[in-house]
């Protein structure tokens, strides 16, 4: 099969818009010309790709499969164009990373400076995404590497465990819950809460938990970083669920106490997702190696019993 990229774009637009007329307008074609191009695609596949209806078009089952591959092909072409432009600008690599909130705001800012210093001709497009969107982004080629935590459908991708992330309850030192050795998340829901911004991976996850419990968080303020959360928590604005690494980094300076959560979901395994790690360029594999090396000493200590003191 030999497909014209413009025809593939036309098909994707028609599927997205549910209208061949709108797709034709986007590609500056007449409706008749656009219809002829779609029919040519169907002739090549020998399958009906679109159902024509009174108010537009909709995908047939083979059309849904064709759309997936068309998107992937167009993204690969766009990536190739972008990568070649980067070469022309003096760069030798472009790495796209989708990651959850903790990765983007907490540990990647510590790791990426070393990587970028060691790879001066490589740039990184780092985007914060919900866990499910991360896996889909890697699967359909929008991202080269994904970083997720917790129970995530990896969609058949290659997954590499590299560390364990613990969530803890952070409170001001004079808060009544600060005296507890361990607490269930449900027992914190009567307290004023400090949270991450709407749409963040952690806040979305906690909202799903509270929805199952039938009792919402009493959010007083939502912030864009764990360090800012800790500042508010230490000042007595409310309690908050934060990654243990961020909490311990701020514990003394912000006058906080840390309380272990008894909920099983508070321990979240972190994974690197790729379509095919062996096929990644060397600089992408070096970032994966750097992440694994950074957390290798902690993986064994994570198995040891924790000190419950705060």
Question: Residue 16 sits in a domain of what CATH number?
Answer: 1.10.10.10
Residues 15 and 76 reside in one and the same domain: yes
Closest CA to 103 of 296, 271, 285, 308: 271
CA within 13 Å, CB half, 168: 29
Residue 193 has pLDDT above 90, yes or no: yes
- Cα–Cα distance for residue pair 292/118, rounded to 1 Å: 16
Closest CA to 193 of 171, 217, 226: 217
Residue 85 has pLDDT above 80, yes or no: no
309 part of a folded domain: no
53 part of a folded domain: yes
30 part of a folded domain: yes
106 part of a folded domain: yes
Binning pLDDT at 50, 70 and 90, where does residue 86 land?
Answer: low
Residues 179 and 246 reside in one and the same domain: yes
Residues 253 and 279 reside in one and the same domain: no
The full DSSP string for 9-77 is HHHHHHHHHT-HHHHHHHTT--HHHHHHHHHHHHHHHTS--EEEETTEEEE-HHHHHHHHHHHHHHHHH
Residues 77 and 40 reside in one and the same domain: yes
Residue 297 has pLDDT above 70, yes or no: no
CATH classification at residue 282:
3.40.190.10
**Domain ends where: 36, 63, 85?**
85
Q: How many domains does the chain have?
A: 3
Residues 156 and 281 reside in one and the same domain: yes
- Cα–Cα distance for residue pair 294/291, rounded to 1 Å: 5
* pLDDT at residue 148 in the model: 94
Q: Which of 18-22, 119-123, 176-180, 294-298 has the lowest mean pLDDT?
A: 294-298
Binning pLDDT at 50, 70 and 90, where does residue 301 land?
Answer: very low
307 part of a folded domain: no
Residue 90 has pLDDT above 70, yes or no: no
Contacts of 221 (CB under 8 A, 6+ apart): 194, 195, 232, 237, 238
In tens, the pLDDT along 247-262 reads 999 999 999 999 999 9
User: No. of H helices and E strands in the chain?
Assistant: 11, 12
Burial of 219 (0-12, 13-18, 19+ CB in 10 A): middle
231 part of a folded domain: yes
* pLDDT at residue 302 in the model: 47
Burial of 5 (0-12, 13-18, 19+ CB in 10 A): exposed
**Domain ends where: 22, 50, 85?**
85
| Segments forming the whole domain that contains residue 137 | 92-160+272-301
* pLDDT at residue 89 in the model: 53
**Domain ends where: 24, 58, 85?**
85
In tens, the pLDDT along 28-67 reads 999 999 999 999 999 999 999 999 998 899 999 999 999 9
Chain-centroid distance of CA 85 in Å reads 26
234 part of a folded domain: yes
310 part of a folded domain: no
* pLDDT at residue 132 in the model: 84
In tens, the pLDDT along 132-175 reads 899 999 998 889 999 999 888 888 899 999 998 899 999 999 99
CB 223, CB 246: distance < 8 Å = no
């Amino acid at each position: 099969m030999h497909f014209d990229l413009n025809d593939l774009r036309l098909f994707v637009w028609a599927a997205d818009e549910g209208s061949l007329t709108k797709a034709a307008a986007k590609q500056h074609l007449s409706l008749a010309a656009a219809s002829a191009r779609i029919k040519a695609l169907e002739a090549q596949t020998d399958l009906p790709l679109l159902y024509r209806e009174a108010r537009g078009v909709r995908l047939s089952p083979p059309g849904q499969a064709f759309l997936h591959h068309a998107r992937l092909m167009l993204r690969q072409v766009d990536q190739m164009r972008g990568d070649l432009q980067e070469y022309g600008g003096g760069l030798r690599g472009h790495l796209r990373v989708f990651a959850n909130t903790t990765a983007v705001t907490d540990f990647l800012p510590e790791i990426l400076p070393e990587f970028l210093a060691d790879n001066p001709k490589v740039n990184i497009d780092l985007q914060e995404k919900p866990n499910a969107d991360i896996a889909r982004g890697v699967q359909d080629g929008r991202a080269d590497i994904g970083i997720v935590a917790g129970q995530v459908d990896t969609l058949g991708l290659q997954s590499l465990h590299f560390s364990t992330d613990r969530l803890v309850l952070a409170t001001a030192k004079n808060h009544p819950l600060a005296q507890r050795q361990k607490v269930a998340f449900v027992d914190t829901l009567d307290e004023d809460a400090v949270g991450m911004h709407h749409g963040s991976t952690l806040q979305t996850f906690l909202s799903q938990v509270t929805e199952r419990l039938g009792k919402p968080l009493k959010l007083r303020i939502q912030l864009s970083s764990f360090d800012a959360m800790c500042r508010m928590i230490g000042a007595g604005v409310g309690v908050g669920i934060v990654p243990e690494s961020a909490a311990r980094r701020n514990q003394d300076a912000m006058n906080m106490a840390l309380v272990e959560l008894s909920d099983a979901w508070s321990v979240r395994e972190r994974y690197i997702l790729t379509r095919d790690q062996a096929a990644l360029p060397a600089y992408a594999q070096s970032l994966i190696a750097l992440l694994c090396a950074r957390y290798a000493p902690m993986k064994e200590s994570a198995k040891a019993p924790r000190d419950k003191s705060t």
